[in-house]
Amino acid sequence: MKWTMRRALAGLAVAAIGLLSGLPASTASAVTKAPRLIVADRVQTIYQRFYGYPTADHPTADVGGIVSCPSGSEMIGAGSGNGATAALAPWDDFTGVRLLGSVAWPSPTYQGNFIQVTLLCAPARDLTAVRRVQVVRRASGLANTYLDTRGGCPSGYC
């Protein structure tokens, strides 16, 4: 597995853990019904590559696009890697994301003039007890820099 993909998957794991930790904590007695958790077997991973074609004369190329979860499911995590991601913004209903970024010449990997977006999607019916928290981290602007950002749980959750 390439280093950039490892970083993207690590970011997805952090995002997924942050969303999963947003489930309500049980403050009642043990007899109270526990909240439903996201079932790992029903989480789908969606991959989409967005290509740009930089040249020696034009060393950067903008790339962008949208990636969405299958019908009936919602996003529980997202990440991107391989190029320079300027923005990876979730839709208001958390069913997809919009990517804006760029790729550079020479390509960092073989045929690597792309940014790959990875979504983790779960059935919407599994997310009824989830409170969504959006965490925004501005990029450092440095090439090959991995930013680790974590969100906190809303009051009464975690």
Distance CA 55, CA 103 (A): 10
Let me know if residue 101 belongs to a domain: yes
Q: Which of residues 8 and 92 earns the better pLDDT score?
A: 92
| Average confidence (pLDDT) over 140-156 | 60
Distance CA 113, CA 29 (A): 55
Q: Is the pLDDT of residue 82 over 70?
A: yes
Q: What is the CA radius of gyration of the chain?
A: 18
| Average confidence (pLDDT) over 98-124 | 86
Q: Is the pLDDT of residue 65 over 50?
A: yes
Task: Give residue 69's pLDDT.
Answer: 97
The share of the chain scoring above pLDDT 70, in percent, equals 56
Tokens 């009824």 correspond to 128
Let me know if residue 82 belongs to a domain: yes
Let me know if residue 35 belongs to a domain: no
For the chain, the domain total comes to: 1
- Give the residue among 38, 35, 37, 122 at the shortest CA–CA distance from 72: 122
> What predicted TM-score, i.e. pTM, was given to this entire model?
0.64
Let me know if residue 31 belongs to a domain: no
Question: Which residue range(s) make up the domain with 19?
Answer: 3-24+41-125
Let me know if residue 154 belongs to a domain: no
Q: Which range (117-121, 133-137, 151-155) has the least confidence?
A: 133-137
Q: Write out the two tokens for 86.
A: 């300027």
DSSP summary character for residue 105:
S
Let me know if residue 72 belongs to a domain: yes
Task: Give residue 12's pLDDT.
Answer: 45
Let me know if residue 100 belongs to a domain: yes
